[in-house]
Amino acid sequence: MSFGIAPKILLEQVRNTAAWALEPGFTTHSYPRALLAADALEHTWQTHEGRFDYFRMLLAAHYTTCATFIPTDVDNRIRFHFWQELHTEDDLRRGIAVLNEASGWPAPEVSEGCIVDPELGAVSGHDGEWLGVRAGALGRAHALGLTALATSLRDELEAEVLREAKIMTRLVQKKGAEIDALCAMASVAHNIGDLARVCDMWAAEGQAQLVDRLRFTAIPKDPVQPFGRLFIVIGEAYKDLLSDSNHRYLPLREPKGLRRARDMIRPFGPFLDAWGERIGRHPMLGERDHADFLGALLAGHERSPEERGYPRAIAGLNRALKGGVDRLASDVPARLRKVLRAGPLRAALDLDARRFDERMRARYTSHFLAPLRACSLTV
């Protein structure tokens, strides 16, 4: 293997942001073992035989951290470079077997961004990660002329897209599930976009690949059967209601206290009131940690005043702390004290979570619920 992050460095990156996932007893699944194999992999990861264990480690690192404050930067390797270095059907099948193992790791163990359907399972941003990686395998199968394998991979991608469409359909049709529908929409829009972006990167490799590329890149933007306009309307609703609140929240990389435990992971934005309260009451955090957290939220709000997640988290923190966030004002930078005192943020602090949710629900139902129901699938 010609390049990539050395295993020991990758393990340290995971420890830096999600050490809790490596603690004994955290899980019965295989991803901690894949990560803790770093020492042995140092001698083999650039060999042909070692590349598959290294791929498992890359997927484990991505799975463990992609919902945390500091994800590991392995996207291009797992979606593209790894597959391009495989030249036989046997090797491609070995890589797909590792991917199948990883895609079975449960997202709710490492992510707060999951909506669970009792029959169809959880939908989260992790599903988009696996769609992108599997699309990389499909592109390589086409390049190697492996028709049967390409058909199998295509069917798996189609099945996952259909599953997510069915989950969205159920949420759209269920009374009282509006906030869950909005949260699921954030994941689904991201996931279908990930699939389209990876397929759009394929090089021209014949008619079969062209057909797949055109189909998967069309799903977010053109009516495609059996989905019709469903994903188009989901994309429009996401852009209008949520796109400003589902970025990386980069200022939150600074407060190291937020990395100490699994239950500090950020959930779906902008619905961050309960999370802010949880951070404010967390037994592993003290006043210095709260000040660091508030400073990061204020910095994010200063950079993106139109984004609603930062104020909602501050409102939650304000309710959790005796004396509210004003007691921390002297511990944040002077310029951020001005942000804390500004009128728009004070108004957000006065708006409770229930009323904020009602406003989000009202815009969703008045602008997008009917169009979503009109193009929903039969489930």
Tens of pLDDT, residues 218-239: 999 999 999 999 999 999 999 9
Tell me: do 132 and 218 sit in the same domain: yes
- With bands split at pLDDT 50, 70 and 90, how would you rate the model's confidence at 1? very low
Report whether pLDDT(248) > 80: no
Q: Select from 241, 275, 296 the last residue of a domain.
A: 241
Tell me: do 158 and 177 sit in the same domain: yes
Tell me: do 277 and 230 sit in the same domain: no
Report whether pLDDT(75) > 80: yes
Tell me: do 230 and 292 sit in the same domain: no
Report the C-alpha gap between 186 and 37 in whole angstroms: 34
324 found inside a domain: yes
Tell me: do 99 and 131 sit in the same domain: no
261 found inside a domain: yes
Tell me: do 219 and 131 sit in the same domain: yes
Report whether pLDDT(3) > 70: no
359 found inside a domain: no
Q: What is the rounded average pLDDT of the residues 244-259?
A: 90
Give the total number of structural domains in the chain: 3
Tens of pLDDT, residues 306-342: 999 999 999 999 999 999 999 999 999 999 999 999 8
Tell me: do 220 and 268 sit in the same domain: no
The fraction of the chain above a pLDDT of 70, given in percent, is 99
Q: What is the rounded average pLDDT of the residues 269-281?
A: 97
Tell me: do 300 and 222 sit in the same domain: no
Q: Select from 241, 270, 295 the last residue of a domain.
A: 241
Tell me: do 84 and 36 sit in the same domain: yes
Tell me: do 274 and 235 sit in the same domain: no
Report the C-alpha gap between 21 and 231 in whole angstroms: 34
Q: Select from 223, 241, 259 the last residue of a domain.
A: 241
Closest by CA to 108, choosing from 277, 262, 279, is: 262
Tell me: do 103 and 129 sit in the same domain: no
53 found inside a domain: yes
Q: Does the predicted model carry a pTM greater than 0.85?
A: yes
CA 77 to chain centre: 17
Closest by CA to 363, choosing from 237, 211, 215, is: 237
Tell me: do 226 and 277 sit in the same domain: no
pLDDT of residue 246: 73
* Interacting residues of 12 by C-beta distance below 8 A, sequence separation 6+: none
Residue 330: domain span: 250-341
367 found inside a domain: no
68 found inside a domain: yes
